[in-house]
Amino acid sequence: MTQLTQRAKQVDRKPMTLLERIYLWNILKGMMITISHLFKRKATIKYPEEKRTFSKVFRGVQILNRDEEGREKCTACGLCAVACPAEAITMEAAERQAGEEHLYKEEKYAAKYEINMLRCIFCGYCEEACPKDAIYLSQTFAPSNYGREGFIYKKEDLLIPHPIENPEAYKKALGEKGGNA
């Protein structure tokens, strides 16, 4: 039979020698590998105290953006929901009433906006689809939870802090990514 690759090895079926039969030598060989790792750099980190730095293109939990005056940018156009391959995003649109101009940027806004984090696959299509720069994926991941209920993220959970009332939290949430948002 012709070999497909050079890596195939013939199985050695010779009877074992005495040294191989007492196993001790092979155990020592294995232990040497284990012990040598004690003196090498650790591959793991102590997670809650230490955190890894994410890459700049890391796609974490979604954030709903506000403009400089703190008005919500989302107009409930539904493009994120239709782009979502996991069908995780749902929303209800409402008309902006007189006196709500300081809350919502456009005539129409998302009265309810939900992302089912059990479904979300963090593909970032919602960010791509958004014509209003209203949603983007931040650089933190969604925290774990004991119940399923906690994974239905509502608009209040997703909205970025107010840039005027809470500028520090806003800057932090914006991260490096939101510099141009």
Residue among 132 and 162 whose Cβ is closer to another protein: 132
Is 77 marked as a binding-site residue? yes
Residue type, 55: S
Q: Considering the complex, what minimum distance in angstroms separates the CB of residue 94 from another protein?
A: 5
Using the rule CB under 8 A, which residue among 60, 70, 86, 93 binds another protein? Answer: 93
- Binding footprint of another protein, residue count (CB under 8 A): 30
Instruction: Give residues with Cβ within 8 angstroms of 64, minimum separation 6.
Output: 72, 73, 74, 113, 134, 135, 155, 158, 159, 160
C-alpha distances (whole Å) from 11 to each of 14, 19, 30, 52 are: 9, 19, 21, 43
Using the rule CB under 8 A, which residue among 61, 64, 91, 160 binds another protein? Answer: 91
Instruction: Give residues with Cβ within 8 angstroms of 139, minimum separation 6.
Output: 54, 58, 60, 175, 176, 177
Using the rule CB under 8 A, which residue among 16, 82, 121, 164 binds another protein? Answer: 82
Is 118 marked as a binding-site residue? no
Question: Mask 4-43, x = binds another protein (CB under 8 A)?
Answer: ----------------------------------------
Would you state the structure tokens that stand for residue 98, as one six-digit string? 């007189």
Q: Considering the complex, what minimum distance in angstroms separates the CB of residue 100 from another protein?
A: 7
Cα-trace Rg, the chain: 27
Cα–Cα dist 111/156, whole Å: 11
Is 74 marked as a binding-site residue? yes
Cα–Cα dist 94/76, whole Å: 8
Question: Mask 97-116, x = binds another protein (CB under 8 A)?
Answer: x--x-----xxx--xxxx-x
Annotated binding site for [4Fe-4S] cluster: 74, 77, 80, 84, 120, 123, 126, 130
